[in-house]
Amino acid sequence: MSGIVVHLPHTDGAGGGTSRDAPVTLRLGPGEVARFGRGSAAVPVELRLDDAAVSRLAGEIRVADDHWLLSNHSTTQSYLVENPEGAGEYLRVPPRRLGAPIPFEFSRVVLPTRRGAVVSFQVFAPDHVYLDPDGPHPGSAADPWGSRTVMAYSLDETALYFLVLVALCEPRLRDESPVAVPTTPQIVERLGSHPAAGGRLTARAVSAHIDYLAEEKMRIEAPPDRTGSGARRNGKREALVGVALRFGMVREEHLALLPSRTPAPAHPAEGGRR
């Protein structure tokens, strides 16, 4: 992946801001910048955060070759950059800090508000690239040309997006269905009890993970939209499952990452015969 994807979800206007009917998604390449804040006619921003506690120009995102940088233009407020897949891992970017490098592959940038709520947006960063584990170390005698082999598909098996991919592949791995792939509500229900989801997995989040997998991690082009967005999204899911299974990125042993489907044993009725 070259560049980043920034996603500002729909807001209902909490915290005194006005509501926004549609989410905003930006694609930024290396060297490009996106500014965020409340904005105004005199201070245009690419990501408008509708809250009275947010500065007109709260900060900016700048894309480097293999990571991104966050600048905090506030003179009083710190911003948090959370790793939603890192068990509470986060960075604090203090006021007036410029160009703080962000190491997370998937981030949630959080700004405080006066009413105790927060406003936030998500950033999908450049892939973390890994060496081929069976290849020679770069620059070693076994690698005389100084070149390196990298993984064609760089997937983090501890990430929530990988769980979504495993859940999509599950029916075919279990030979339950030769054609159908799970719908978004089915994925939400399947992963709702997983600790990584934290009981907060939504349909919108699942769709974002599917888009991230298809467009950034596995670089799958969506099929032409001839019968509506639903058919287009189903085609994207089917393409993801096909590539993941053909190339062995998701295998039967990965099913152990999913919550158990075994129902809890029924308790004996009280008051029965002894």
Rounded alpha-carbon distances, angstroms, from residue 95 to 35, 66, 82, 113, 232? 16, 25, 17, 15, 43
User: For residue range 28-71, what is the model confidence (pLDDT) as tens digits?
Assistant: 988 999 999 999 999 999 999 988 889 999 999 999 877 899 99
Q: Mean pLDDT check: name the lowest of 91-105, 170-184, 210-224.
A: 210-224
β-bridge partners, 47: 36
Share of the chain above pLDDT 90, in %: 34
CA distance 243 to 248: 8
Q: Are 126 and 150 in contact (CB under 8 A)?
A: no
Number of H helices, E strands in the chain: 4, 11
Please give the CATH topology (third level) of the domain spanning 4-124.
Tumour Suppressor Smad4 (2.60.200)
Higher pLDDT, 221 or 246: 246
